[in-house]
């Protein structure tokens, strides 16, 4: 155990990690550098970052252009406030840029430092929107089961994975969760949501929030007509629709924003992650022109919500350069093309290996399920830890992916950097196949 491990154990409380595992085994890996889609640890071992770290390093690691953009901004104006209508050029430019990339009706941005803050902000803006229109009773928020919206107060409550509520000790009143389309279909998911709205009382519901593709829930991609029906249902009841694009934004799904895959326009979009490719912490909420008009007309006095780092000039300069690269390198279309290749490879694995169940991808956001019986979708017993073992086998081969075993379903998630090329996708697929076969053989031996 080297000295870095000892110091880590002594002083570093890791986010979303097992403290017990850290204390027993030390940190899983200590990274030192990154280049392109690869990371290197302190022992010199190279890993393919097939999750873009936390679904966020869209343009890959080690891009000097971003370091230069940050350094130049830091030398000019590292930080300055955006409170009390103080402003600065990087903030103004970034708001304009994001508005130009977003669906046509979304043109105003509130900046945050990340995804959780963005969703908490969206929910507060929903409350503000209804309050200033004398409808303060529209406070309830409906989200989806298995959704992940973050770990701040409101975003934890919106999250549909109960383990996060346990950690919070309590959830905020007025949040509820409807079934998604996972292992179901549009019709039953829409009728479940309708029932939920009716049960809550339509006049008390302020917004419905959903990820275009449920990421942490296991990369759950909705069927074709789902979001169109969601839009109709929200309009029918006068409920706002918030799309959480924290994972799906900025090209991840082969479109600039994920919801565009389903030709649906939300009332708000929350974003973070890919907006800076992780080179600086920044997120935000885009609001529709209709909502912005209401704010302009009816929001009197101070808007009592703001983060010190809302619109951070250096983070904004990094975001601008990152978005510039995403556009100039055509990474949104590239993500679409590479995603097709990835999905084709997943389908081949499904044809060839009988423990591969459902496979799916939209752009470079994909998943492979592992099942005992691919015809009936019967799960493996949870104590076999099939998905975590495949992740471990991949790790041995120098590939980093993520396992989701929520409700005992073994899912392997993939979200490689948008710059991944064909040869690297082949490398990923080969190592995935080897890893699944290794675990499968091990299961047979046992
Ligand atoms: N929304 C979604 C869809 C996410 O995937 C995440 C993070 N994985 C968040 C919100 C929270 O973002 P952050 O971790 O930046 O607070």
Pairing label, strands 240-244, 268-271: parallel
Instruction: Report the percent of the chain where pLDDT is more than 90.
Output: 95
pLDDT band at residue 1 using 50, 70 and 90 as cut-offs: low
Measured CA to CA, the distance from residue 80 to residue 264 in angstroms comes to 36
CA of residue 374 to ligand 1 center, whole Å: 31
CA of residue 115 to ligand 1 center, whole Å: 4
Ligand 1 pocket member 216 (CB < 6 A): yes
Q: What sign for the dihedral angle of Cα 41, 52, 221, 243? A: positive
Tell me: the pLDDT tens digits for 81-118? 999 999 999 999 999 999 999 999 999 999 999 999 99
Q: Which atom, in ligand 1's list, is nearest to the CA of 113?
A: 15
SS3 337: helix
Ligand 1 pocket member 144 (CB < 6 A): no
SS3 403: strand
What are the Cα distances from residue 257, in Å, to 99, 145, 228, 295, 308? 12, 22, 15, 24, 27
Question: Minimal CA–CA distance to 53: which of 69, 36, 71, 70?
Answer: 36
Chain mean pLDDT for the chain: 97
ipTM above 0.95, yes or no: yes
- Output the pLDDT for position 121: 98
SS3 131: helix
- Output the pLDDT for position 169: 85
Residue with tokens 């030709």: 263
Ligand 1 pocket member 150 (CB < 6 A): yes
Q: Which atom, in ligand 1's list, is nearest to the CA of 216?
A: 5
Tell me: the pLDDT tens digits for 353-368? 999 999 999 999 999 9
Domains of the chain in start order, with CATH, are 36-59+330-445 (3.90.1150.10), 64-328 (3.40.640.10)
Q: Crossing angle for the helix pair 186-200 and 226-237, nearest 10 degrees?
A: 20
Q: Probe ligand 1: pick from 56, 116, 180, 280, max atoms within 8 Å of CB?
A: 116
User: Are 147 and 175 a contacting pair, CB within 8 Å?
Assistant: no
């Amino acid at each position: 155990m080297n000295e870095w491990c000892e110091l880590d154990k002594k002083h570093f409380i890791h986010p979303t990690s097992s403290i017990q595992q850290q204390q027993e085994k030390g940190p899983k890996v200590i990274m030192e550098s990154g280049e392109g889609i690869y990371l290197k640890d302190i022992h010199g071992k190279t890993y393919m970052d097939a999750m873009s770290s936390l679904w966020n390093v869209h343009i890959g690691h080690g891009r000097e252009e971003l370091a230069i953009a940050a350094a130049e901004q830091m030398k000019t104006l590292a930080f300055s406030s955006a409170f009390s209508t103080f402003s600065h050029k990087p903030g103004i430019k970034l708001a304009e840029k994001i508005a130009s990339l977003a669906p046509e009706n979304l043109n105003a941005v509130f900046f945050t430092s990340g995804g959780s803050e963005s969703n908490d902000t969206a929910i507060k803006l929903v409350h503000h929107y209804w309050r200033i229109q004398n409808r303060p009773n529209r406070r309830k928020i409906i989200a989806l089961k298995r959704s992940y919206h973050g770990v701040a107060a409101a975003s934890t409550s919106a999250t549909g994975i109960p383990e996060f509520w346990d950690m919070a000790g309590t959830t905020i009143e007025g949040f509820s969760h409807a079934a998604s389309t996972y292992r179901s279909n549009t019709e039953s998911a829409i009728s479940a949501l309708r029932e939920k709205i009716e049960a809550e009382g339509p006049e008390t519901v302020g917004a419905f929030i959903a990820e275009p593709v449920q990421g942490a829930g296991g990369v759950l991609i909705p069927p074709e007509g789902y979001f169109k029906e969601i839009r109709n249902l929200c309009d029918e009841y006068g409920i706002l629709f918030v799309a959480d694009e924290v994972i799906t934004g900025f090209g991840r799904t082969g479109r600039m924003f994920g919801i565009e895959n389903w030709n649906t326009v939300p009332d708000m979009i929350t974003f973070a992650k890919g907006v800076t490719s992780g080179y600086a912490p920044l997120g935000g909420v885009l609001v529709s022109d209709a909502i912005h008009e209401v704010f302009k007309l009816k929001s009197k006095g101070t808007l009592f919500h703001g983060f010190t780092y809302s619109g951070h000039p250096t983070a904004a300069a990094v975001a601008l350069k990152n978005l510039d690269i995403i556009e100039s390198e055509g990474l949104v279309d590239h993500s679409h093309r590479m995603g097709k290749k990835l999905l084709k490879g997943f389908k081949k694995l499904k044809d060839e290996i009988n423990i591969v169940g459902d496979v799916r991808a939209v752009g470079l956001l994909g998943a492979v399920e592992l099942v005992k019986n691919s015809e009936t979708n019967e799960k493996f017993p949870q104590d076999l830890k099939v998905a975590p073992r495949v992740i471990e086998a991949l790790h041995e081969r120098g590939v980093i992916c993520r396992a989701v075993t929520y409700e005992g379903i073994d899912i392997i998630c993939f979200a490689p950097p948008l710059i991944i090329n064909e040869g690297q996708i082949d490398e990923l697929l080969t190592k995935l196949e080897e890893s699944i076969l290794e675990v499968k053989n091990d299961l047979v031996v046992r």
